[in-house]
């Protein structure tokens, strides 16, 4: 019993981490049609900035996380301004440029801070455990779940309450026509990219909490699961990504534990393949 509780709680925590990583990716992909391979790099930037602020610069953890998120957002804005924006008429090249950034940024981090994992600052408040129905669950899993929930809420509000979602979706179809309606579409795109980057950086910062350390390849390592989640959720539906994250987290956690060879990631991969073959448009059935 307590094993099941533990697996459920930690599975949810893992799902929350996946959602933190995937939400920005999903937003950018769903609205802007850019499959952002540099998303892992943004995660790493957020994680390293938080780590740097929390250790080298001596800020408290509660200041370091906003700082890291801010740096990640700035990186995303720069990425959009200097790489994505000039390539809007060449969507495939956009993807490829992000592949290049995804290669270069981790290498740069490795060059500056070395390849080895660095211990991540852990505030005392979050390093304990809670006892839930006989299971000892680390507190930070609950923090992740709460952060993911808040992020989901915030993104949904942004999409529903502002015109930006609409503008960007229209802009992907036909940028010129959006400007011909008197809208400065570039600003909207930059904003969406910045929000995606902020989500990624927050994911990176909280991922550091989860792993207890940061290393240059961490973001890229999570990226593949983020892709899986985005596709399963239905290509850019943020809510779909949330549902898929929880599914993937739970399935992976249970399969890792109960199958002898630890088939967690294999089962996720099989899940994806089967889902796409049965429902080619993903869980929520948005455009494929």
Task: Compute the half-sphere exposure of residue 21: CA atoms within 13 Å on the CB side of its CA.
Answer: 36
Does 7 bind other proteins (CB under 8 A)? Our answer is yes
Interface mask (CB under 8 A) for other proteins, residues 248-267, using x and -? Answer: ----xx--xx---xxxxxx-
* Shortest distance (Å) from residue 65 CB to other proteins: 18
Site for other proteins in 120-159 (CB under 8 A): 120, 122, 127-129, 135-138
CA angle 278, 39, 250 (to 5 degrees): 45
Q: Count H helices, E strands: the chain? A: 11, 4
Phi-psi region of 33 (alpha: psi -120 to 50; beta: other; left: phi over 0): left
- The single residue among 169, 190, 191, 250 that binds other proteins, judged by CB under 8 A, is 169
Closer to other proteins by CB, 70 or 269: give it: 269
221 binds other proteins (CB under 8 A): yes
Q: How many residues does the chain have?
A: 288
* The Cα angle at residue 76 between residues 186 and 48, in degrees rounded to 5: 170
Task: Scan residues 94-113 and list those touching other proteins (CB under 8 A).
Answer: 96-97, 99-108, 110-112
Minimum distance from residue 72 beta carbon to other proteins (Å): 18
Minimum distance between the CB of residue 153 and other proteins, rounded to whole angstroms?
Answer: 22
131 three-class SS: strand
Does 63 contact other proteins by CB under 8 A?
no
Choose which of 146, 150, 157, 177 interacts with other proteins (CB under 8 A).
177
> CA-to-CA distance for 157 and 147, rounded, in angstroms?
15
Match 């959006």 to its residue by tokens: 178
Choose the stretch contacting other proteins; rule: CB under 8 A; options: 19-27, 146-154, 171-179, 195-203: 171-179
Smaller CB separation from other proteins, 66 or 212? 212
Cβ–Cβ under 8 Å, residues 121 and 61: yes
């Amino acid at each position: 019993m307590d094993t099941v509780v533990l697996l459920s709680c930690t599975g949810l925590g893992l799902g929350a981490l996946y959602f933190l990583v995937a939400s920005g990716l999903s937003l950018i992909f769903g609205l802007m049609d850019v499959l952002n391979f540099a998303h892992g790099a943004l995660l790493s930037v957020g994680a390293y900035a938080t780590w740097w602020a929390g250790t080298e610069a001596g800020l408290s953890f509660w200041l370091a996380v906003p700082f890291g998120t801010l740096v990640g957002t700035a990186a995303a804005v720069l990425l959009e301004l200097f790489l994505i924006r000039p390539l809007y008429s060449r969507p495939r090249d956009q993807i490829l440029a992000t592949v290049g950034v995804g290669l270069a940024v981790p290498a740069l981090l490795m060059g500056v801070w070395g390849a080895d994992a660095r211990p991540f600052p852990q505030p005392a408040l979050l390093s304990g455990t809670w006892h839930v129905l006989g299971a000892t669950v680390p507190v930070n899993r609950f923090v992740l779940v709460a952060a993911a929930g808040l992020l989901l809420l915030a993104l949904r509000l942004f999409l529903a309450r502002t015109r930006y979602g609409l503008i960007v979706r229209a802009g992907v179809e036909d940028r010129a026509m959006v400007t011909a309606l008197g809208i400065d579409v570039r600003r909207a795109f930059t904003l969406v990219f910045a929000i995606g980057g902020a989500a990624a950086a927050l994911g990176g910062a909280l991922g550091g909490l989860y792993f207890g350390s940061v290393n240059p390849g961490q973001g890229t390592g999570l990226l593949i699961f983020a892709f899986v989640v985005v596709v399963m959720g239905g290509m850019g539906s943020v809510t779909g990504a949330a549902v898929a994250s929880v599914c993937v987290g739970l399935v992976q956690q249970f399969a890792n534990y109960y199958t002898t060879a630890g088939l967690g990631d294999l089962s996720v991969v099989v899940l994806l393949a089967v889902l796409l073959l049965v429902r080619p448009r993903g869980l929520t059935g948005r455009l494929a």
